[in-house]
Amino acid sequence: MSDTTLANAALRPVRCDAETDVPHLMRIFAKRLSIHTVGGEPASRTRCALEPHEGVEHMGRVRELREGAVWVTFTREMPPYQARLLRPCAREERCGLYEGHPGRCLAAEPERWEPERMGELGVLLEGAPELAAPVREFDLPREREEAARTVREIETVLDRVLRAYPFPGGVGLSAPQIGVPRAAALVQPPWGRRR
């Protein structure tokens, strides 16, 4: 082994050895999360990829994408239970996140907030008369199909908003904000499950 090889090995960060199977449902979730991006099939097994650490939570790759990557949270005691879409790494330097990673991982620069752009994304702006109109609650189960359709409409606009502004602290969107006078809303907590 040459001195150069030894030096390179010494510089290479040691990775956490935590590894886990990815359940089929989580692979489906990862694929759905990244539906608007181009990438390979979700992996059936993933590893932590972080440097050794004390905590039980791990972030591992499920699907690598040109526009970013889907990562999952798991612990040594349980399989992946949460997924999130990360922006692509900058390419200036070799990334130390895991061996073979194509770029340098940086905190994403937040896009400048432009409230006017929300209108282009399908969200009514403050002052719109529709936001002052009374809303009707759903009569469930009779209006179950209409409620499901309304939630899908909210989800479509919310997906569009999240592609423009990630809102890492979480975000919510109500039916009146998309011009539907019904009592329904979706909340996306920080990297959690939509409710």
pLDDT of residue 85: 78
pLDDT of residue 6: 41
Backbone angles phi, psi at 72, to 5 degrees: -120, 155
27-36 long-range contacts (CB < 8 A, ≥24 apart) are: 27/62, 29/83, 30/62, 30/63, 30/70, 30/72, 30/83, 31/63, 33/70, 33/83, 33/84, 33/85, 34/63, 34/65, 34/68, 34/70, 34/85, 36/159, 36/163
pLDDT of residue 195: 55
Residue range 74-131, pLDDT digits in tens = 887 788 888 887 766 665 555 655 566 655 554 445 556 677 788 888 999 888 999 9
Question: Which residues of the chain have a pLDDT value below 70?
Answer: 1-14, 66-67, 87-113, 166, 168-169, 190-195
82-86 and 171-174 strand pairing: unpaired
pLDDT of residue 139: 94
What amino acid occupies position 131?
L
Q: Which residues contact 122 (CB under 8 A, 6 or more apart)?
A: 156, 157, 160, 178
Name the nearest CA neighbour of 168 among 185, 189, 194.
Answer: 189
pTM of the complete model beyond 0.85: no
